[in-house]
């Protein structure tokens, strides 16, 4: 298992900076509100602690990426956060600005004490069969074949997945779609999973708790949360047929190989194949309602300066800085 401590939500300080600017520049010191991605839940907690006392307060509800998009669109919050980028057309229709915050990753986590800390190798095909109820034991021939030399237990597999609208579910299901034709045809890439096997829970922390409490369980969550929980983290097969652990190096390679759109300020991860690239890297995006941004004149400038100048702070809170190729998108006024 790769023990590299990977930043949990790559653009943490961007958000923290965002809050700081919003709060400090608002004459009325109104409370700043946000909602969305659970990938940034630890970032937002730090942000509230740092900036709350100097302003009207900061609140962030880690309600999932779907909620981040819908609430930002409704303007019921000052900003939303989504792990799944919106298209340029969708942004125009919703009246939102989108800015990448940091680099992150979704990890596949397992509770297999028999492995003694050794990393298990998995791929999209195996995971799809597990979550569709076709593979039910950890010593199934497909898993054994992917892990030569690793002694796997005769233990039942308990798949854990999220029932709330989650960008992590989208990233996970997209990876499975690439490796399994049945999954691609029946389920596909989606924020909202409803699966025949295992147990659905609400929120990333609930996934961690369920996997940690259940020997034989498998799930997915932000890498930083998985590392903090002390769970086993799987190596995943990438598009170059290499098994890769999530690490600062492998996630950065994925982000650097991605195609970054000037129209939507988003990364196309489908173009990120490389021998050392981690296949479930992610970028949380700030979604700022244009009407609110114009009225307060703070959110967008704050995110821009944070994204461009806060790399050291991002690392301190367990995230990864955006690659150089993404910096123009993070700082551009659109």
Q: What is the per-residue pLDDT for 140?
A: 99
> Do 198 and 149 fall within a single domain?
yes
Instruction: Tell me which residue range forms the domain holding 236.
Output: 105-250
Identify whether 301 is part of a domain. yes
Identify whether 271 is part of a domain. no
Identify whether 87 is part of a domain. yes
> Do 136 and 202 fall within a single domain?
yes
Q: Is 158 strand, coil or helix? A: strand
Q: What is the per-residue pLDDT for 4?
A: 42
Q: What is the per-residue pLDDT for 57?
A: 60
Q: Are 201 and 163 in contact (CB under 8 A)?
A: yes
DSSP per-residue letters across 68-114: HHHHHHHTSSSEEEESSPPPHHHHHHHTEEEEE--BEEEEEEE--GG
Q: Are 303 and 80 in contact (CB under 8 A)?
A: no
Q: Are 104 and 222 in contact (CB under 8 A)?
A: yes
Residue with the bigger pLDDT between 59 and 299: it is 59
Q: How far, in Å, CA of 133 to CA of 111, rounded? A: 18
Identify whether 182 is part of a domain. yes
> Do 141 and 92 fall within a single domain?
no
Confidence of residue 192 (pLDDT cuts 50, 70, 90): very high
Identify whether 4 is part of a domain. no
Q: Is 39 strand, coil or helix? A: helix
Confidence of residue 197 (pLDDT cuts 50, 70, 90): very high
Q: How far, in Å, CA of 131 to CA of 136, rounded? A: 9
Bridge partners (DSSP) of residue 288 are 97
Residue 76: Cβ within 10 Å count: 13
Identify whether 1 is part of a domain. no
> Do 119 and 95 fall within a single domain?
no
The most confident of 51-60, 202-211, 311-320, by mean pLDDT: 202-211
Identify whether 5 is part of a domain. no
> Do 120 and 216 fall within a single domain?
yes
Q: What is the per-residue pLDDT for 18?
A: 46
> Do 127 and 227 fall within a single domain?
yes
**CATH label of the domain that carries residue 31:** 3.40.190.10
Instruction: Indicate the range of 37-41, 168-172, 257-261, 267-271 predicted with least confidence.
Output: 267-271
Q: Are 142 and 152 in contact (CB under 8 A)?
A: no
91-112 pLDDT, tens digit each: 999 999 998 888 899 999 999 9
- Between vectors from CA 39 to CA 34 and to CA 35, what angle results, nearest 5°? 15
1-40 pLDDT, tens digit each: 444 444 433 344 444 444 444 444 443 445 678 899 988 7
> Do 91 and 154 fall within a single domain?
no
> Do 114 and 236 fall within a single domain?
yes
Token pair listed for 212: 């940690």
pLDDT surpassing 60 at residue 70: yes
Residue of 323, 321, 311 lying closest to 257 (CA atoms): 323
Residue of 31, 36, 22 lying closest to 70 (CA atoms): 36
> Do 71 and 146 fall within a single domain?
no
Which residue stretches of the chain are H helix? 12-25, 41-51, 65-74, 88-94, 124-131, 141-146, 167-179, 181-186, 204-213, 223-229, 248-257, 290-296, 299-309, 311-316, 327-331
> Do 181 and 109 fall within a single domain?
yes
71-95 pLDDT, tens digit each: 999 999 888 999 999 999 999 999 9
Confidence of residue 303 (pLDDT cuts 50, 70, 90): low
pTM of the model: 0.83
Q: Count Cα atoms within 13 angstroms, Cβ side, for 120.
A: 29
Q: What does the mean pLDDT of the chain come to?
A: 82
Considering its fold, how many domains does the chain have in total?
Answer: 2
> Do 296 and 233 fall within a single domain?
no
Token pair listed for 27: 């004459």
pLDDT mean over 196-217: 96
Q: Are 205 and 38 in contact (CB under 8 A)?
A: yes
Identify whether 240 is part of a domain. yes
Residue of 72, 64, 280, 68 lying closest to 165 (CA atoms): 64
Q: How far, in Å, CA of 47 to CA of 22, rounded? A: 12
> Do 115 and 236 fall within a single domain?
yes
């Amino acid at each position: 298992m790769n023990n590299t401590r990977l930043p949990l939500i790559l653009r943490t300080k961007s958000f923290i900076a965002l809050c700081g600017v919003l709060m400090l520049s608002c004459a009325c010191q109104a409370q700043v509100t946000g909602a969305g991605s659970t990938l940034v839940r630890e970032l937002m907690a730090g942000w509230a602690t740092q900036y709350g006392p100097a302003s009207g307060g900061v609140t962030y509800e880690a309600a999932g990426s779907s909620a981040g998009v819908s609430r930002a669109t409704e303007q019921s919050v000052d900003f939303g956060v989504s792990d799944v980028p919106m298209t340029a057309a969708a942004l125009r229709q919703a009246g939102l600005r989108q800015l990448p915050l940091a680099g992150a990753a979704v990890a596949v986590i397992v509770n297999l004490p028999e492995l003694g800390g050794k990393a298990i190798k998995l791929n999209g095909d195996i995971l799809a069969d597990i979550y569709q109820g076709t593979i039910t034991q950890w010593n199934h021939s497909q898993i054994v074949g992917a892990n030569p030399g690793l002694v796997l237990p005769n233990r039942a597999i308990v798949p854990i997945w999220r029932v709330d609208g989650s960008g992590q579910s989208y990233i996970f299901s997209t990876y499975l779609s690439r490796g399994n034709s049945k999954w691609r045809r029946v389920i596909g890439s989606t924020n909202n999973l409803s699966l025949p096997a295992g147990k659905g829970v609400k929120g990333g922390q609930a996934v961690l708790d369920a996997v940690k409490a259940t020997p034989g369980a498998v799930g997915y969550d932000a890498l930083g949360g998985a590392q903090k929980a002390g769970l086993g983290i799987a190596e995943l097969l990438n598009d170059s047929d290499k098994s890769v652990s999530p690490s600062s190096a492998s996630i950065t390679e994925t982000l650097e190989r991605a195609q970054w759109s000037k129209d939507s300020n988003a990364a196309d991860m489908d173009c990120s194949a490389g021998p050392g690239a981690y296949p479930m890297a992610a970028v949380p995006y700030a979604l700022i309602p244009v009407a609110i941004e114009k009225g307060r004149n703070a959110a967008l400038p704050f995110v821009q300066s944070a994204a461009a100048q806060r790399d050291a702070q991002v690392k301190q809170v367990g995230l990864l800085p955006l690659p150089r190729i993404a910096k123009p998108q993070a700082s551009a006024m659109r």
